[in-house]
Structure 1
């Protein structure tokens, strides 16, 4: 019999509701901006790390230490993360321009 293991739910934990009072929220707008800035910095660092990994994989392929499929997977991951970053940047710029066009 063929079994589909793609949707295996044995290890899935049920969702639990969190109360608003127990969540750790930044208390000031400055802390919110700082945490968002840290998040963006970590995201950009992750994109840079994926690009570096793809470059290292291509160098290992040239030497003969990596398979072509590994190189292609690393390259595609780096490309997709860079495209996602570019699209997020474009949306942020569009939102900023829209806010600046708003008349009070």
Structure 2
């Protein structure tokens, strides 16, 4: 359970886009796959947040221990923080591209 404390997306292969480019995938196909990758990542973060809320509710009625609820809450917090940092980096990269003079 502690191994899952890092941001993870189940069923997503990070090198999938590179493999498709090597296999002759068009840029639009790669973009669609990247979009589905982002969608799955956001769904994973949402699921972790919902799990943290569920564990908190279970803690209130005495079904789980405090440590289980805290681990779940920290996993959700780390996922949200990572998602926020990735979003910030993407926005910074976009702004840098827009400032580039041709």
TM-score, normalised to structure 2's length? 0.78
Structure with the greater relative contact order (CA < 8 A, sep ≥ 6): 1 or 2?
Answer: 2
SS of 1:64 mapped into structure 2: coil
Partner of 1:43: 41
* 1:46-85 deviations in Å (ceiling 9; x for gaps): 0000000000000000000000000000000000000000
Coordinate RMSD, CA, aligned = 1.1
Partner of 2:83: 85
Q: Structure 2: how far apart are the matches of 1:61 and 1:96?
A: 42
Do structure 1's residue 25 and structure 2's residue 23 form an aligned pair? no
Larger radius of gyration, structure 1 or 2?
1
Are the structure 2 counterparts of residues 88 and 24 from structure 1 closer, same or farther at C-alpha, using a change threshold of 3 Å?
closer
Which runs of at least 4 in structure 1 moved beyond 6 Å after TM superposition?
Answer: none
Tell me how far 1:91 sits from its aligned partner: 0.1
Give ranges in structure 2 of 5+ residues lacking alignment.
1-17
Give ranges in structure 1 of 5+ residues lacking alignment.
1-22
* 1:22-57 deviations in Å (ceiling 9; x for gaps): x84151011000000000000000000000000000
Q: Structure 1: how far apart are the matches of 2:30 and 2:20?
A: 8
Would you say how many aligned residue pairs link Structure 1 and Structure 2? 82
